[in-house]
Amino acid sequence: MNRLLIAALCLTAASAFAQSNTPRVDQREANQQARIAQGAASGALTPHETQRLEKEQAHINRAEDKAKSDGTVTRAERRRMHHMQDAASRDIHRKKHNDRAASAPGQ
């Protein structure tokens, strides 16, 4: 399951780089996807936490797509995306460092 999740995250990150007039936003998105994948692989994130964080990343991605839809990303749209990514980064940190952990297979 973790390998499948990591592969899906890599594809998502690759597609984000494909249409890039927001390179800083795209780079942060890729970094956050990698942090989520690492947390899922190490067991620091439970499946539910991983799903929640992925949903948050998808929400940011939709906001980015909407901002790009008219061909121009305004300063306000970029600021909103950075704010959303700041919140997502804090959520990733909190969930990776809480007392919950995914149970190891066979336990």
- pLDDT for 20 beyond 90: no
Q: What is the mean pLDDT of residues 39-46?
A: 94
- pLDDT for 4 beyond 70: no
Domain ranges of the chain: 2-96
- pLDDT for 18 beyond 90: no
DSSP 2-47: HHHHHHHHHHHHHHHHHS-S-HHHHHHHHHHHHHHHHHHHHTSS-H
Q: What is the mean pLDDT of residues 43-61?
A: 96
Name the average pLDDT for the chain.
Answer: 85
